[in-house]
Amino acid sequence: MTNNRDFDSVDFYNIDELLTDEQKLIRGTVRDFVTKEISPFIEDWYENSHFPLEIVKKMGETGIFGPNVDQRYGGGGMDNISYGLIMQELERGDSGMRSTASVQSSLVMYPIEAYGSEEQKKKYLPKLASGEILGCFGLTEPDFGSNPGGMITKLEDHGDYYLLNGSKMWISNSPIADIAVVWAKDENKRIKGVIVEKGMEGFSAPKTEGKLSLRSSLTGELVFNDVKVPKDNILPRKDGLGAPLGCLDKARYGISWGAVGVAMDCYDCAKKYSLERKQFDKPIASFQLVQKKLAEMLTEITKAQLLCWRLGKLIDSGDVTSSHISLAKRNNVEVALKIAREARQIHGGMGITNDFPMMRHMMNLESVITYEGTHDIHLLILGNEITGIPAFS
């Protein structure tokens, strides 16, 4: 099955007027990339639970990895609106494809750039930017998902190396990653980041089978059995839970934009289908109930677009807080999920087939609404911001 239909972008409030020519150019480049390299194949990849490894190099060549990273290390040196627009376009193609880019850029390149040594930056960042190597991010453990501070994976100081023991679960890209940024506790219970390389003795990354969501993205475990990690592989410039959570802020921001990409794709499909499909001798678009669905979709997409744009500006000016990001991730993913369901309904029975992308998007969004902080965890982050009372535990 191919998904080759034309996509018409949605811009009811002329938000394009707020974008620079460079930002529009970047969006256009990634839109073309998705149209050529992802959309024609995605339904097959999804059905066969296949991650196309060759897409990593292609993404690197297109400048998709590390858009915010300093150009001295092979990054794009771009602003945050540009980064968001890249994520929007990729997720219009598929959430799994956006996931690959989120992990590489926000969860692997960002911590190496922000917390790593100069040697680590020179060693890893150019190769990650070009797609020569792929990274993954190990925070979640079998018994510590929403509460990563409880993690039990541990680092023991053995003089010139650390011994790493424990396991991580639900790790995007882990079975094929060349390096893993892993979070573990030292003897003082302080969380530290380490770079673990594929092939280190005692390290394995088995694949997680049976996923009904995000099927074009590989997910797996990270298992550490007395892995000797050289001291040079510790991220030296930040520790504590705030270090991994700082990376999550970057990725959650990207997801806010990505969700808009999905919502636009579903709305575009629903609008076109409703104008073509006839029942009772009329296009179904002529019925008020269908118009209500379309009008509400457009309203929510427009609100979500404005949230993203403003959030990007707040990040660029340094005025953003984590709860600003939680609000946008939480809102936009929920909006996208509702729009995917409504668009599916507008397609009637056809909507459940892979002639159309809504079911795939909908199933993908069940992961997106869970990872990077569940929907309810983001609500609690906002509750804490409003009241000053953390209700997590």
Catalytic residues: 372
Q: Is 257 in the site for ligand FAD (CB under 6 A)?
A: no
CA distance 291 to 298: 10
- Residue of 96, 59, 76, 99 lying closest to 23 (CA atoms): 76
CB of residue 213 vs ligand TGC: minimum separation in angstroms? 11
CA distance 82 to 68: 9
Residues 101/164, Cβ–Cβ less than 8 Å: no
Q: Is 345 in the site for ligand TGC (CB under 6 A)?
A: no
CA distance 136 to 263: 27
Q: Is 62 in the site for ligand FAD (CB under 6 A)?
A: no
Q: H-type helices in the chain, by residue range?
A: 21-33, 42-47, 54-62, 80-93, 95-102, 110-115, 118-130, 242-276, 288-317, 322-346, 358-368, 375-387
Positive or negative torsion for Cα 302, 303, 306, 312:
negative
Q: Which does 348 bind (CB under 5 to 8 A by kind): ligand FAD, ligand TGC, none?
A: none
139 vs 269 by CB, closer to ligand FAD: 139
Q: Is 322 in the site for ligand FAD (CB under 6 A)?
A: no
CB of residue 126 vs ligand FAD: minimum separation in angstroms? 22
Q: Which does 138 bind (CB under 5 to 8 A by kind): ligand FAD, ligand TGC, none?
A: ligand FAD
CA distance 287 to 144: 49
CB of residue 240 vs ligand TGC: minimum separation in angstroms? 5
Interface positions, 199-228, toward ligand FAD (CB under 6 A): 214, 219
Residues 57/116, Cβ–Cβ less than 8 Å: no
Residue 151 parent element (H or E): none
Options 30-38, 58-66, 243-251, 267-275: segment touching ligand TGC (CB under 6 A): 243-251
Q: Which does 241 bind (CB under 5 to 8 A by kind): ligand FAD, ligand TGC, none?
A: ligand TGC
Q: Is 148 in the site for ligand TGC (CB under 6 A)?
A: yes
Q: Is 322 in the site for ligand TGC (CB under 6 A)?
A: yes
Q: Is 145 in the site for ligand FAD (CB under 6 A)?
A: yes
CB of residue 8 vs ligand TGC: minimum separation in angstroms? 27
Residues that bind ligand FAD (CB under 6 A): 103, 136-140, 145-146, 170-172, 214, 219, 367, 370-371, 374, 376-377, 380, 392
